[in-house]
Amino acid sequence: MMGLGARHFHECPKEPMLTIYLVVGGAASLVLQLLPFLYCHTTSGKPNIVCRICNFVLYLFCFVWLIIGSVFVYRAYLPNFESSQSPEYCERTLYMVTFLFTTGIYINILIGIIGRCVYILLCGK
């Protein structure tokens, strides 16, 4: 995410915030993945309270950033991929990867919710 956003930083005049969405979202996801390996467990093996708070804040930020990024992505739906001089232009790979990535996250959330509901219905828990 960060690489794609950085590589195409000024290549989407229709929605310049797409690249920022990718860079910031990628950085937050990277920190979220690396945080547990850095200092999340005390010597007794219990999770560090500071780490748990940081994880919560990062998850909350990623959720809010997904919603904000969705506005950027879907507001620019179907930009002009041909004329780079047009104010409606957006680089094809940048937009399509961002669109598919964001839509994929929503599909995964939906599958998770449906799966949880089916589990509750079938197992009663």
For 21-44, the pLDDT digits (tens) are 999 999 999 988 887 776 676 667
Rg of the Cα trace of the chain? 18
User: What ranges do the domains of the chain cover?
Assistant: 2-123
Cα torsion angle, 11, 91, 72, 61, sign: negative
Output the pLDDT for position 100: 95
Phi and psi dihedrals of 13, rounded to 5? -65, -25
Output the pLDDT for position 67: 96
Output the pLDDT for position 105: 95
Would you say how long the chain is, in residues? 125
- Nearest of 68, 59, 71, 67 to residue 28 by alpha carbon: 59
- Nearest of 68, 35, 75, 37 to residue 53 by alpha carbon: 35
Residues of the chain with pLDDT under 70: 38-39, 41-43, 45, 47, 125
Global model pTM greater than 0.85: no
